[in-house]
C-alpha cells in the first residue's frame, strides 16, 4: 500500500526538555502536561508517531508557503530555514528559549513575524471580528482573539517581544500571520508589548521546576472535556481511571452486581454494629476501672488499661491560611510554598446508600 509508506522517515520529534528551560512556544500549554513530558510519563499518543510527524510536516509546508509568498513580493525577511536562531529570556528566575519563525523589515522598521496555519473553522474564529481589507486578506485589531481559545498565541509572542534579541533589533511589535489551510486566505495582527499578559504567563510557571525536580506534578490546567485534554498525549496517565469513565448516571440491575449491593449493605450494617458494640464495651471497661480503682483490668483474657492521652495534629485549614499569608507577604518563596504540599494519586470509589433500610441482617443484637 502506498499510504503506509508516505510518512516513513519523516518523524521529527521535538528535542527533549532540558532541566530549567521552558519553551516559549509552550508557554500557554498545560504545565502538568509539560511536567509529564519532562518526567517521562508514558504517552497515550506517541509524539514521535508518523501521524504527529505528518502534522508537523504539514505545518512546515504552510510556513514555507508564507515565506515563499513574502519573498515573491520582495518583503525583506530573514531567520528561516537553516539559519534560524534561538532567542532567550530570563524572567522571574525562569529561563525561556524559543525560535521565532521570521524577522522582517517593513518601511524601515523591524518586526518579529510568527506564522501559523489553521484549518478553516479555526481561521474563521480568528477573523470573526477582523477587517477584510482586500478579498481574503484580513487585519485583526482585537488582540483578545490571540489570548483566547485552547492554545492562545499571545504568551509566545509576548515572550519573543521581551527577549534581548528584540531589544537589540529595536523591535516594538510582533506580527502574527495566520493562514487558512483550506483557502490560503491570510490574516495579520500586530502585537505590542503587554506587560500584564507577560506577567500572567510567567506566573503560571512559578514553582514549576521546584515541583518536577522532586517528581511531583502541577495541578491539572484544564477540564477533562476541554480541547486541550482531548488532544493531550498524556490524557490517560493524567486522568487515571477518570479517563475511561464518562460523567453521568447509569442505573444497572445486573444480578452479579445486585448480589454485591446486598453484601455491601450487610457489611456496612455489621461495621456499624461492631463499632457501637466496641464503644459500649469501652465505656463499661472505663467505668469498671474507676469502680475498682485500678488502671489495668484483666477480663477473660483481655487486658484493659485506662490512660489519659492527648494528640497534637496540624490544623490543616489554619496551616493553609498561614502559608498563603506568608507567601503573600514575601516571607516564603513560591517554591517553598509549593514544597509544603505533597500529592497522592489514588482512585476513590465512594458509596452512599440511599436506601439503607433494604439491608437484611440476620445477626441478633441484644442490649
Ligand atoms: S490531560 Fe489535560 S490536564 Fe492533564 S496534562 Fe493533558 S492538558 Fe493537562
What is the whole-number distance in angstroms between the Cα of residue 55 and the centre of ligand 1? Answer: 20
Strands 87-91 and 109-118: unpaired
Give the three cell numbers for residue 327. Answer: 507567601
Residues 6+ apart with CB under 8 A from 346: none
What is the whole-number distance in angstroms between the Cα of residue 336 and the centre of ligand 1? Answer: 24
Distance CA 186, CA 117 (A): 9
What is the whole-number distance in angstroms between the Cα of residue 326 and the centre of ligand 1? Answer: 30
Residue 235, ligand 1, Cβ within 6 A: yes
> What is the predicted pLDDT for the residue at 367?
45
Closest C-alpha to ligand 1, atom 2: 229
Residues 6+ apart with CB under 8 A from 210: 334, 335, 338, 339
Residue 293 per-residue DSSP state:
T
Residue 97 contacts residue 86 (beta carbons within 8 Å): yes
Closest C-alpha to ligand 1, atom 4: 238
* Rounded average pLDDT per 10-residue block, the chain, 367 residues: 57 65 93 93 69 73 88 91 85 90 94 93 94 96 93 95 94 95 94 96 88 87 90 90 87 95 95 96 96 96 94 93 92 84 82 80 51
What DSSP letter does each residue of 171-186 carry, written as one string?
Answer: --EEEEEEEETTT--E
Residue 232, ligand 1, Cβ within 6 A: yes
Q: How many CB atoms lie within 10 A of CB 129?
A: 12
What is the whole-number distance in angstroms between the Cα of residue 138 and the centre of ligand 1? Answer: 33
Distance CA 28, CA 204 (A): 9
Residue 209, ligand 1, Cβ within 6 A: no
Give the three cell numbers for residue 243. Answer: 479517563
Residue 29, ligand 1, Cβ within 6 A: no
Substitution site in 28, 31, 33 for ligand 1 pocket (most atoms within 8 Å of beta carbon)? 33
Q: How far, rounded to the nearest angstrom, does the alpha carbon of residue 61 sit from its chain's CA centroid?
A: 30
Residue 153 per-residue DSSP state:
S
> What is the predicted pLDDT for the residue at 8?
46
Domains and CATH numbers, the chain: 17-244 (3.90.320.10), 268-299+354-367 (no CATH)
Residue 34, ligand 1, Cβ within 6 A: no
Task: Report the atom number in ligand 1 closest to the C-alpha of 238.
Answer: 4
Residue 62, ligand 1, Cβ within 6 A: no
Residue 32, ligand 1, Cβ within 6 A: yes
What is the whole-number distance in angstroms between the Cα of residue 238 and the centre of ligand 1? Answer: 6
Residue 265, ligand 1, Cβ within 6 A: no
Substitution site in 235, 244, 345 for ligand 1 pocket (most atoms within 8 Å of beta carbon)? 235
Residue 177, ligand 1, Cβ within 6 A: no
Closest of 118, 36, 192 to residue 127, by C-alpha? 118
> What is the predicted pLDDT for the residue at 50?
64
Task: Report the atom number in ligand 1 closest to the C-alpha of 221.
Answer: 3
> What is the predicted pLDDT for the residue at 3?
62
Closest C-alpha to ligand 1, atom 3: 220
Amino acid at each position: 500500500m502506498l499510504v503506509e509508506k508516505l510518512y516513513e522517515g519523516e518523524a521529527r520529534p521535538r528535542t527533549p526538555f532540558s532541566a530549567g528551560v521552558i519553551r516559549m512556544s509552550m508557554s500557554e500549554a498545560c504545565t502538568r502536561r509539560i511536567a509529564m513530558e519532562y518526567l517521562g510519563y508514558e504517552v497515550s499518543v506517541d509524539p514521535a508517531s508518523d501521524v504527529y510527524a505528518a502534522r508537523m510536516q504539514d505545518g512546515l509546508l504552510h510556513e514555507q508557503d508564507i515565506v515563499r509568498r513574502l519573498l515573491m513580493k520582495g518583503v525583506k525577511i530573514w531567520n528561516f530555514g537553516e539559519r534560524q536562531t534561538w532567542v532567550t529570556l530570563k524572567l522571574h528566575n525562569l529561563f525561556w528559549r524559543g525560535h521565532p519563525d521570521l524577522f522582517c523589515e517593513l518601511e524601515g522598521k523591524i518586526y518579529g513575524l510568527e506564522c501559523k496555519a489553521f484549518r478553516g473553522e479555526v481561521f474563521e474564529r480568528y477573523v470573526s471580528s477582523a477587517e477584510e481589507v482586500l478579498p481574503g486578506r484580513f487585519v485583526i485589531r482585537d488582540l483578545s482573539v490571540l489570548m483566547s481559545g485552547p492554545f492562545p498565541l499571545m504568551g509566545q509572542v509576548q515572550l519573543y517581544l521581551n527577549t534581548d534579541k528584540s531589544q537589540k533589533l529595536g523591535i516594538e511589535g510582533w506580527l502574527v500571520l495566520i493562514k487558512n489551510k483550506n483557502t490560503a486566505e491570510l490574516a495579520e495582527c500586530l502585537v505590542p508589548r503587554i506587560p500584564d499578559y507577560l506577567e500572567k504567563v510567567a506566573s503560571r510557571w512559578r514553582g514549576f521546576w521546584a515541583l518536577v525536580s522532586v517528581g511531583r506534578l502541577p495541578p491539572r490546567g484544564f477540564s477533562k472535556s476541554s480541547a486541550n485534554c482531548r488532544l493531550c498525549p498524556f490524557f490517560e496517565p493524567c486522568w487515571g481511571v477518570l479517563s475511561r469513565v464518562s460523567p453521568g448516571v447509569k442505573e444497572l440491575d445486573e444480578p452479579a452486581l445486585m448480589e454485591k449491593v446486598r453484601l455491601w449493605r450487610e457489611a456496612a450494617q455489621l461495621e456499624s454494629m461492631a463499632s457501637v458494640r466496641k464503644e459500649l464495651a469501652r465505656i463499661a471497661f472505663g467505668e469498671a476501672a474507676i469502680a475498682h480503682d485500678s488502671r489495668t483490668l484483666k477480663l477473660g483474657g483481655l487486658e484493659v488499661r485506662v490512660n489519659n492521652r492527648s494528640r497534637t495534629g496540624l490544623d490543616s485549614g489554619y496551616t493553609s491560611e498561614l502559608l498563603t499569608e506568608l507567601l503573600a507577604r514575601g516571607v516564603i518563596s513560591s517554591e517553598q510554598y509549593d514544597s509544603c504540599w505533597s500529592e497522592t494519586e489514588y482512585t476513590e470509589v465512594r458509596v452512599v446508600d440511599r436506601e439503607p433500610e433494604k439491608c437484611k441482617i440476620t445477626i441478633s443484637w441484644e442490649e
